[in-house]
Amino acid sequence: MRVLITAGPTYEPLDPVRFLGNRSTGKMGYALAEAFAAEGARVTLVSGPSQLPNPAISLIETVRVETAAEMFAAASMVAAEADVWVFAAAVADYRPAQVAAEKIKKSGETLTLELVKNVDIAATLGQQKRAEQFAVGFALETTNELAHAQDKLRRKNFDLVVLNSLRDAGAGFGHDTNKVTVLDARGQVVNFELQSKADVARGLVSLILARRAVTS
């Protein structure tokens, strides 16, 4: 089995010094890569900027990228051959329309930036997904969590969506623990109580493999 996983943030440069980014560390995606490898899968881990070392497992190939465009290009290279896609990265929705060649100097009381939309990696690849491929997305929400997650499930052609809420203590960015809710198109819900991200990853991989076996 071949698995594509995206992980970590993307950084969208403003100038040679600054960027737009987010607080994702990549821990969940890296844990998923190791959990899939433990099941014998060959994993391509497309990682945005992260302080985590590349997993020292021969079954995992780590591809380092920085921007959303670079992540999309790297994921597109292997998506067609992968049996399972897991979009765990926190990809920037927008990027600066112009990247300054030199450091932007302070002048005036305000600075206005024009942002343009990045490619939606999961949605774009989801349009190309074959019936035998299995796609899993992540949704980190702060309000109307279930409604937003169900909308992502439909729009991006996911088989499962993993919902994180920043209102849950110990879940989300920067933690070694996580608490998630998994939804599918039939309305079935599986809850994972707060536990280590490694344990969550093992549970998610078991669930994905079981659901994939039923649908294949």
Active site residues: 22
To which residue do tokens 């549970």 refer? Answer: 203
Number of residues that this document lists for the chain = 216
125 in Cβ contact with 74 (< 8 Å)? no
Dist CA 93 CA 120 (whole Å): 7
Q: Is 60 exposed, middle or buried (0-12, 13-18, 19+ CB in 10 A)?
A: buried
The pair of three-digit structure tokens given for residue 207, joined into one six-digit string: 């669930």
Q: Which of 85, 92, 49 lies closest to 69 in space, CA to CA? A: 92
